[in-house]
């Protein structure tokens, strides 16, 4: 079977399960470490038995809701591949906008940055890749998750500090910028979630108590000793949580400047708190 024939078979197969054609190309290109141009140039090339077997197996697993990124053991973020497995949340495209906001706000500056609850390391490691002069520390509560982030740092050949612990507890310094994309989904929202996410991604990286606000409240209460004067906090949050987060930070930090930012779809999804 040629690569073209395998792609067409996969399109037909995923159609039966009402799944996305984009995942077919993601799985095929990811398996072969190809660009789309590489695939087009090899359309008439015969797949080896092992290549075809793996591709068909992955397509079938994908149609049973297994995430394509876990099948490939990698996910793309900000133009780089990050090792990803069931110990980590899969990096989302929307989070790239949070990284861009930090980079745009601090062009030409040299910063000390902490990424809290780093997961794969996507945020903190990307900031370090884009700004090699920055000092970046990443934290996560789970050692198995931190092992993935550390492997990503090694793969990207960057020098960062990594510490395991709950939120700010492992930090020993003060920072110019602290960024976090903490768990923020409430238990009541499970019924609206994609089955693939619910079944395979780690619950501790998704759900939070107090209507999804638990970690934001703790961050608001605990952050001040870890920031330099006029330090800044950047957060990602659920698109309906903006008003609650503003109220939360106004309660604990009445003199801080709070800014919401919309994502590419026009939803409030990011927040910056500048402490005075």
Band the pLDDT of 242: cuts 50, 70, 90: very high
Distances (CA, A) of 156 to 31, 101, 144, 180, 185: 20, 22, 19, 21, 30
Q: Which residue has the tokens 């000092």?
A: 135
Q: Is 145 annotated as a binding residue?
A: no
**pLDDT over threshold 90, residue 178:** yes
In the predicted model, what is the mean pLDDT of residues 75-100? 96
Sheet containing 257-262, strands listed edge to edge, beginning at the edge strand earlier in sequence: 161-164, 135-140, 112-116, 175-180, 227-236, 268-274, 257-262
What is the pLDDT confidence band of residue 195, given thresholds at 50, 70 and 90?
confident
User: Which pLDDT band, with edges at 50, 70 and 90, does 57 fall under?
Assistant: very high
**Using an 8 Å Cβ cutoff, are 72 and 31 in contact?**
yes
Q: Is 265 annotated as a binding-site member?
A: no
Distance (Å, whole) CA 58 – CA 61: 5
| Per-residue confidence (pLDDT) for residue 17, from 0 to 100 | 96
Q: What is the largest CA-CA distance in the chain?
A: 65
Is there a binding annotation on residue 30?
no
Q: What is the mean pLDDT of residues 161-188?
A: 95
Cα 119 to Cα 247: distance, rounded to the nearest angstrom = 27
Q: What is the pTM of this model?
A: 0.94
Across the chain, what does the average pLDDT equal? 96
Calculate mean pLDDT across residues 169-194: 91
pLDDT of residue 276: 86
Cα separation of 205 and 127, whole Å? 21
- What value does the mean pLDDT take over residues 131-139? 98
pLDDT at 77: 97
> How, if at all, do strands 112-116 and 135-140 pair?
parallel
Query: Is 214 assigned a ligand-binding role in the annotation?
Result: no
152's tokens = 């990503």
Sign of CA dihedral 148, 154, 156, 161: positive
The per-residue pLDDT for range 206-239, each reduced to its tens digit, is 989 999 999 999 999 999 999 999 999 999 999 8
Q: How confident is the model at residue 198 (pLDDT cuts 50, 70, 90)?
A: confident
Q: Give the pLDDT score at 189.
A: 83
Q: What percent of the chain has pLDDT over 90?
A: 91
State how far the alpha carbon of 59 is from the alpha carbons of 51, 67, 75, 169, 249, in Å: 12, 10, 17, 42, 45
For residue 3, give the 3-state DSSP assignment. Answer: helix
The pLDDT assigned to 194 comes to 85
pLDDT exceeds cutoff 90 at 187: no
Q: What is the mean pLDDT of residues 86-114?
A: 96
Does the annotation list 117 as a binding residue? yes
| 238 labeled binding residue | no
Length of the chain: 276
Q: Is 121 helix (H, G, I), strand (E, B) or coil?
A: coil
**Dihedral of the CA atoms 51, 52, 54, 60 (nearest 10)?**
160
Instruction: Report how far residue 146's alpha carbon sits from residue 148's, in angstroms, rounded to the nearest whole number.
Output: 5
Q: Is 42 annotated as a binding residue?
A: no
CA dihedral sign of residues 113, 119, 122, 125: positive
Q: Determine if residue 181 is labeled as part of a ligand binding site.
A: yes
Q: Is residue 212 annotated as involved in ligand binding? A: no
Q: What is the pLDDT of residue 192?
A: 78
Pair 267, 239: CB distance under 8 Å:
yes
Q: What is the band of 117 on the pLDDT scale with cuts at 50, 70, 90?
A: very high
The answer to the question of whether 2 is labelled as a binding residue is no
DSSP 8-state assignment for residue 30: H
Q: What residues are paired with 235 via a beta bridge? A: 180, 271
């Amino acid at each position: 079977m040629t690569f073209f024939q395998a792609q067409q078979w996969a399109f037909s197969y995923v159609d039966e399960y009402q799944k996305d054609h984009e995942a077919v190309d993601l799985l095929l290109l990811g398996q072969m470490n190809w660009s789309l141009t590489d695939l087009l140039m090899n359309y008439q090339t015969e797949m080896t038995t092992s290549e075809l077997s793996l591709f068909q197996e992955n397509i079938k697993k994908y149609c049973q809701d297994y995430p394509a990124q876990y099948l490939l053991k990698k996910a793309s973020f900000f133009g780089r591949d990050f090792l990803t497995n069931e110990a980590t949340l899969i990096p989302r495209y929307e989070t790239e906008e949070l990284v861009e906001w930090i980079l745009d706000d601090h062009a030409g500056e040299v910063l000390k940055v902490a990424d809290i609850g780093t997961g794969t390391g996507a945020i903190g490691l990307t900031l370090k890749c884009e700004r090699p002069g920055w000092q970046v520390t990443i934290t996560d509560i789970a050692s198995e998750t931190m092992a993935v982030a550390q492997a990503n740092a090694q793969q990207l050949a960057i020098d960062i500090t990594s510490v395991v612990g709950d939120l700010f507890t492992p930090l020993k310094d003060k920072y110019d910028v602290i960024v976090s994309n903490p768990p923020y989904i409430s238990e009541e929202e499970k019924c609206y979630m994609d089955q693939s996410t619910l079944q395979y991604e780690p619950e501790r990286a998704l759900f939070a108590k107090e209507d999804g606000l638990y970690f934001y409240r703790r961050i608001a209460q605990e952050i001040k000793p870890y920031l330099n004067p006029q330090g800044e906090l950047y957060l990602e949050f659920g698109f309906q949580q903006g008003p609650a987060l503003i109220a939360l930070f106004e309660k604990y930090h009445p003199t801080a400047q709070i800014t919401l930012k919309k994502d590419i779809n026009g939803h409030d999804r990011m927040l910056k708190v500048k402490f005075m």
